[in-house]
Amino acid sequence: MNRKIIILAILAVALVGCASVTKMGAQLGQGAGVLTEEQTQSINRTADAFEKSAEDILPEQEYYLGRAVAASLLGDYQALDNPSANAYLNQLGQTLAMASDRPETFGGYHFLLLDSEEINAFAAPGGLILVSRGLVNLCSDEDELAAVLAHEIAHVQNLDGLKAIDASRDRSKWITLGVEAARHLGTEELRELAGQFDDSVRDIVVTVANNGYARGQEHQADRDAIAILTRTGYSPLALRSMLAEMEQRWQGSGPGFARTHPSPTDRLGAVAADLTGARASTVSRIRAARFAAVMDGLSGS
Amino acid sequence: MHRWRGITTALALLGLVAVVWAATQTQSVQVRRGQLRETPTFLGKIGTTVSYGDRLEILAESAGWYQVRNPDGRSGWIHGSALSEKKIILKAGQSDLQAGAAGDEIALAGKGFNEEVESTWRSSNPEMDYSWVDLMESWQVSPEKAVAFLHEGGVQ
């Protein structure tokens, strides 16, 4: 019994993600005679795999990928040149990001409105988040817009963009680190790296703009959004009302979320249990007024 | 009875591991710029700043924040998402690289996808316009302004 409990406890820590602690626990477990050497090695391999998948790509590399993904998307979508609306979006978005599980990225979180009627939003790796005018128009108040942004922040937090890179691609040149890295990049190596960069950017853009993430990733982003909203003081019920409004306008086909996201009905069902007992918040006059001012500006765009 | 004793042993074991781990770790700053704050919150007063690759000694951990000490001996709190267990080397040719340390443990800043690769990629894709990307990266909201934004909006 004791052995099982200790193994479970160590694996629980592994799932939380702290590989060093896990490995140390496994070593102590072996030293205390409750784990065999084989079990210790197995736990260590699990810890290594977890850490490697989470940290293979340095935030610095994620940053450059994110910039290229955003630039690619901005080739298909026009940015909305509305300084006050973009300032408001960043005040709200960066405030929410500070309450996420990953408040710090290499270059920080930044938000930009897109001049598009589509209901759409994109989270580029590293924290560059693009939101369409159509999606903002769908929101009836600041809390609902907060729910939209919190969902996108969750995709950055969960490294969903990076996970979209085809795992079969050769990552040797940009992942392998160590002694090889000491060499100066030659022209051929640089060309090869730029090719791998291009492949990776395309994988991410195709996923966020056409294929969408896995259903489970979207549900997780919704659950994480609820956590972010709750921590900042916005009502998590705003996610539900925003999705209900989206459901009203859902056409099931065409560009935007209809192509890349599970239906609002599906998402509402997945978060129903997480919202049990959540309290509605009263939207203050100032909060309503500043949101209305932005919406007025957007309608004139 | 046995069961409770087992759980107690496991928890004590993990607690000991966490204490040992916190006392012996150093980690690298993996963001471009970081701040060491007096308290474990973004509203904590900034004591000093740290840069990409700086090695920080871990003194304690609290709810995702780490109390650290920089090489100058100054301590403060920084969020764990700004830190990496890998040793981030800023310049090639340093002793760690020459000694052939394992790739899992060290990383070379600027290796892989970097400014040079971005520049090469952009020259092959001249239609890519980074002007909005550069502009949006300049939009920064301080923690103080974030709190004021919530307060003014009656978000509690």
Respond yes or no on whether ipTM tops 0.90.
Answer: no
Mean pLDDT score, A172-183: 49
Instruction: Write the CATH number for B9.
Output: 2.30.30.40
pLDDT digits (tens, 9 = 90+) for A207-242: 999 989 999 999 999 999 999 999 999 999 999 999
Same domain for A135 and A92 = yes
B155–A6 CB contact, under 8 Å? no
Range of the domain at B19: 2-111
pLDDT digits (tens, 9 = 90+) for A22-75: 333 343 344 444 444 544 444 444 334 333 443 578 899 999 999 999 999 999
Same domain for A42 and A156 = no
Residue A263 belongs to some domain of the structure: yes
Number of independent structural domains in chain A: 2
Query: What is the number of residues in chain A?
Result: 301
Pick the closest to residue A222 from A266, A277, A253 (CA basis). A266
Q: B87-89 and B106-108: which strand pairing?
A: parallel
Range of the domain at A281: 59-163+210-299
Q: Sheet with B55-62: list strands edge to edge.
A: B46-51, B33-37, B75-79, B65-69, B55-62, B26-29, B83-84
Count other C-beta atoms under 10 Å from residue A243's C-beta: 23
The whole-model pTM stands at 0.80
Residue B124 belongs to some domain of the structure: no
Give the number of beta-carbon pairs within 8 Å between A and B.
228
Q: Tell me the C-alpha distance between A276 and A237, whole Å.
A: 9
Closest CA–CA distance from residue A232 to any residue of chain B (Å): 7
Element (H, E) at A121: strand A121-124
Confidence of residue B49 (pLDDT cuts 50, 70, 90): very high
Q: What is the pLDDT of residue B26?
A: 94
Number of independent structural domains in chain B: 1
Rounded to 10°, the helix A142-157/A237-249 angle is: 100
Residue B129 contacts residue A71 (beta carbons within 8 Å) = yes
Q: Quick check: A15 contacting B, CB < 8 Å?
A: no
B146–A95 CB contact, under 8 Å? yes
Residue A179 contacts residue B97 (beta carbons within 8 Å) = yes
**pLDDT over 80 at B87, yes or no:** yes
Pick the closest to residue B52 from B94, B107, B90 (CA basis). B90
Q: What is the pLDDT of residue B104?
A: 55
Best of A48, A58, A141 to mutate (most B CBs within 10 Å, chain B): A58
B92–A181 CB contact, under 8 Å? yes
Residue A138 belongs to some domain of the structure: yes
**pLDDT over 60 at A14, yes or no:** no
Strand-pair partners of B50: B34
**pLDDT over 50 at B128, yes or no:** yes
Alpha-carbon Rg for chain B in angstroms:
21
Chain B residues 86-145 with CB within 8 Å of chain A: 86, 88-89, 92-93, 97-98, 100-104, 106-118, 120-121, 124-125, 127-130, 132-133, 136-137, 139-141, 143, 145
Same domain for A233 and A214 = yes
pLDDT digits (tens, 9 = 90+) for A243-261: 999 999 888 777 788 888 8
Phi, psi angle pair for B107, to nearest 5°? -145, 145
Which one is predicted more confidently, A174 or A298?
Answer: A298
The minimal CB distance from B136 to the residues A9, A72, A128 is found for A128
Mean pLDDT score, B2-13: 61
Which residue of chain A is at minimal alpha-carbon distance from B89? A178
Strand-pair partners of B33: B51
pLDDT digits (tens, 9 = 90+) for A100-157: 999 999 999 999 999 999 999 999 999 999 999 999 999 999 999 999 999 999 999 9
Q: What is the pLDDT of residue B54?
A: 93
HSE (side-chain half, CA atoms, 13 Å) at A242: 28
Q: Which amino acid is at A288?
A: A
